[in-house]
A = this chain, B = another copy of it.
Amino acid sequence: MTFFEITHKDKKTQARTGVIHTDHGNIETPVFMPVGTQATVKTLDKQDLENIDASIILANTYHLHLRPGEDLIDEFGGLHKFMNWDRPILTDSGGFQVFSLGLQKEEKGQGSLTKIDDDGVTFKSHLDGSTHRFTPENAIEIQHKIGADIIMAFDECTPDNADEAYTRRALDRTHSWATRCITEHRRQKKIRKSGLSGNPDIKLFGIIQGAGHKKLRQESAQAISGMDFDGIAIGGESIGYNMKATKKILDWVNPIIPENKPHYTMGVGYSPTDLFDVVERGVDMFDCVAPTRVARNGRLFVHKKVNKKLYINILNAENRENKKSIDPDCTCFTCQNHSRAYLHHLFKTQELLAYRLATIHNLHFMISLMKEIRESITEDRFTKLKKEWTK
Q: Which residues of A contact B (CB under 8 A)?
A: 38-40, 42-47, 63, 67-68, 72, 75-76, 82-84, 320-321, 323, 333, 337-339, 341-342, 344-346, 348-349, 351-353, 355-357
Q: How many copies does the complex hold?
A: 2
- Bound CA–CA A321/B82 (angstroms): 10
Residue numbers in B under 8 Å from A82 (CB-CB): 339, 341-342, 345
Residue numbers in B under 8 Å from A43 (CB-CB): 352-353, 356
**What is the CB-to-nearest-CB distance from A345 to chain B, in angstroms, rounded to a whole number?**
5
Residue numbers in B under 8 Å from A83 (CB-CB): 342
**Subset of 15 A-B contacts with CB under 8 Å:** A38-B345, A38-B346, A38-B351, A40-B346, A43-B356, A45-B356, A67-B345, A67-B348, A68-B320, A68-B341, A68-B345, A72-B320, A76-B323, A84-B342, A356-B356
Q: Do B323 and A40 have beta carbons less than 8 Å apart?
A: no
Residue numbers in B under 8 Å from A351 (CB-CB): 38, 40, 42
- Bound CA–CA A339/B75 (angstroms): 13
Residue numbers in B under 8 Å from A42 (CB-CB): 351-353
Residue numbers in B under 8 Å from A321 (CB-CB): 72, 75
**What is the CB-to-nearest-CB distance from A327 to chain B, in angstroms, rounded to a whole number?**
17
- Bound CA–CA A38/B72 (angstroms): 39
Residue numbers in B under 8 Å from A356 (CB-CB): 43, 45, 352, 356
Closest to A359 in B: B352
**What is the CB-to-nearest-CB distance from A230 to chain B, in angstroms, rounded to a whole number?**
29
- Bound CA–CA A209/B346 (angstroms): 33
Residue numbers in B under 8 Å from A355 (CB-CB): 352
- Bound CA–CA A323/B76 (angstroms): 8
Q: Do A72 and B341 have beta carbons less than 8 Å apart?
A: yes
Task: Evaluate whether A337 and B84 lie within 8 angstroms (CB atoms) in the complex, with A40-B346, A353-B45 already known.
Answer: yes
Residue numbers in B under 8 Å from A44 (CB-CB): 353
- Bound CA–CA A46/B356 (angstroms): 13
- Bound CA–CA A75/B322 (angstroms): 11
- Bound CA–CA A38/B342 (angstroms): 11
Closest to A77 in B: B323
Residue numbers in B under 8 Å from A40 (CB-CB): 346, 351, 353
Of listed A67, A338, A345, residue having the most chain B CB within 10 A: A345
